[in-house]
């Protein structure tokens, strides 16, 4: 069985070796087999086959029975990937706890955090990581300037913004007027949003202490273009950025709130109209002097028969102005 180079590369990125991929594909193609049959089918040397099979079983890609000779069965790709994901998450949490507990006291003791520095962040992942750090550390206020080119940065941060909103953190988002209404609506649920035309620069300010400013794109090491931002915990720079944000905020347009219109159900409308026709009544009857003898008001509802001159319409059709029966022809 052959697969595309893209799928093979994806399996290698997950940690599978070339031998492991060949063995797993052979099992998918032929079903349960013994180690000797798998070696012949996949082309993996028999001296290596048990090592490869045991590795795949530990990673969750296959399982075996206790028969003689022992047979191996492939697991579904979705089950294998889910098992790998859970294992990696558990390993990451354990490693994170170990590293943070031991190294954070050393970092705090060194005093590096107190030094006002300006750092350059290159690439989407590094910028998002710095923005996420400021967002998660915010306790009182979070100011966000969101240009159209950086709208993708805000999407993964919405759950964190929701958590801050629930904790009472004041969130102000100054967004470009080019951003879609759906995105603006989603952000409005967790923050106060204002729109501004011609918003090119962007950034995030947390509690007036830390700031990330987007500078645009620059040339990376490989010659390709990548976004560049600066991050700083300098109080002066953060204060300057906050003042400029407030200036833009006051000069921006507040997001318009759509008003919901209330409608009656069609069957209820028809029932009300029939009752009004039977009574010869209408809610705009006091404006009868403007009707000039017409048999119906501007809502298409019939006036009282006693007010209708002979020869005028009594029963309007679907809309005002349509043909109807004359009073002399009415039954």
pLDDT > 60? residue 81: yes
Q: What is the dihedral of CA 27, 28, 29, 32, to 10 degrees?
A: 40
pLDDT > 90? residue 198: no
Task: Say whether 245 sits in a helix, a strand or coil.
Answer: helix
- Taking residue 63's Cβ as centre, other Cβ atoms within 10 Å add up to 13
Query: Do residues 188 and 154 touch, judged by C-beta distance below 8 A?
Result: no
* Range with the poorest average pLDDT among 65-74, 100-109, 244-253, 313-322: 313-322
> What kind and span of H or E run contains 214?
strand 210-219
Query: Do residues 140 and 169 touch, judged by C-beta distance below 8 A?
Result: yes
Backbone angles phi, psi at 329, to 5 degrees: -95, -10
pLDDT digits (tens, 9 = 90+) for 26-37: 999 998 999 999
Q: Is 154 exposed, middle or buried (0-12, 13-18, 19+ CB in 10 A)?
A: buried
pLDDT > 50? residue 290: no
Nearest to 172 by CA among 190, 184, 159, 160: 190
Q: Is 242 exposed, middle or buried (0-12, 13-18, 19+ CB in 10 A)?
A: middle
Q: Which residues pair with 62 in a beta bridge?
A: 74
pLDDT > 90? residue 98: yes
pLDDT > 80? residue 152: no
pLDDT digits (tens, 9 = 90+) for 224-271: 677 888 888 887 888 888 998 988 888 876 654 444 445 555 566 566
Query: What pLDDT is recorded for position 221?
Result: 59
Query: What pLDDT is recorded for position 27?
Result: 93
Rounded distance between C-alpha atoms, residue 260 and residue 263, angstroms: 10
Q: Which residues pair with 146 in a beta bridge?
A: 175
Q: Would you list the domain boundaries of the chain?
A: 5-75, 80-114, 118-254, 263-331
Query: Do residues 1 and 26 touch, judged by C-beta distance below 8 A?
Result: yes
Instruction: Tell me how far CA of residue 310 lies from CA of 281, 293, 298, 300, in angstroms.
Output: 19, 10, 20, 19
Query: Do residues 194 and 177 touch, judged by C-beta distance below 8 A?
Result: no
Query: Do residues 41 and 30 touch, judged by C-beta distance below 8 A?
Result: yes
In the predicted model, what is the mean pLDDT of the chain?
A: 77
Rounded distance between C-alpha atoms, residue 294 and residue 216, angstroms: 67
Name the fold adopted by 118-254. Answer: Endonuclease; Chain A (3.30.870)
Name the fold adopted by 5-75. Answer: Arc Repressor Mutant, subunit A (1.10.10)
Q: Which residue has the higher pLDDT, 323 or 14?
A: 14
Handedness of CA 25, 30, 32, 38 (dihedral sign): negative
Q: Is 33 exposed, middle or buried (0-12, 13-18, 19+ CB in 10 A)?
A: buried
Rounded distance between C-alpha atoms, residue 209 and residue 11, angstroms: 43
Nearest to 33 by CA among 59, 63, 61: 63
Average of per-residue pLDDT across 205-222: 79
pLDDT digits (tens, 9 = 90+) for 57-67: 999 999 999 88
Kindly state the percentage of the chain with pLDDT values over 90: 30
């Amino acid at each position: 069985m052959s697969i595309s180079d893209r799928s093979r590369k994806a399996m290698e990125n997950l940690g599978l070796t070339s031998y492991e991929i060949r063995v797993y594909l052979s099992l998918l193609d032929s079903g349960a087999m013994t180690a000797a049959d798998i070696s012949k089918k996949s082309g993996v040397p028999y001296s290596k086959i048990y090592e490869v099979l045991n590795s795949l079983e530990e990673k969750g890609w296959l399982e075996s029975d206790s028969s003689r000779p022992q047979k191996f069965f492939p697991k579904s790709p979705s089950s294998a990937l889910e098992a790998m994901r859970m294992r990696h998450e558990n390993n990451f949490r354990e490693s994170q706890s170990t590293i943070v507990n031991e190294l954070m006291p050393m970092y705090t003791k060194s005093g590096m955090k107190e030094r006002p520095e300006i750092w350059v962040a290159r690439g989407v992942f590094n910028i998002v990581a710095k923005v996420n750090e400021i967002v998660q550390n915010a306790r009182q206020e979070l100011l966000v300037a969101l240009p159209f080119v950086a709208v993708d940065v805000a999407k993964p941060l919405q759950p964190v913004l929701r958590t801050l909103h629930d904790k009472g953190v004041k969130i102000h988002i100054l967004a470009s007027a080019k951003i879609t209404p759906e995105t603006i609506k989603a952000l409005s649920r967790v923050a106060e949003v204002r729109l501004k035309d011609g918003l090119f620069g962007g950034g995030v300010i947390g509690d007036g202490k830390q700031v990330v400013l987007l500078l645009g794109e620059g040339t990376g090491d490989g010659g390709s273009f990548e976004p560049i931002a600066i991050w700083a915990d300098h109080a002066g720079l953060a204060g300057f950025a906050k003042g400029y944000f407030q200036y833009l905020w006051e000069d921006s347009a507040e997001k318009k709130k759509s008003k919901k219109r209330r409608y009656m159900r069609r069957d209820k409308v028809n029932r009300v109209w029939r009752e009004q026709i039977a009574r010869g009544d209408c809610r705009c009857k006091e404006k009868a002097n403007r009707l000039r003898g017409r048999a119906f008001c501007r809502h298409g509802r019939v006036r009282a028969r006693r007010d209708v001159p002979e020869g005028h319409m009594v029963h309007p059709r679907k809309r005002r102005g349509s043909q109807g029966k004359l009073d002399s022809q009415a039954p």
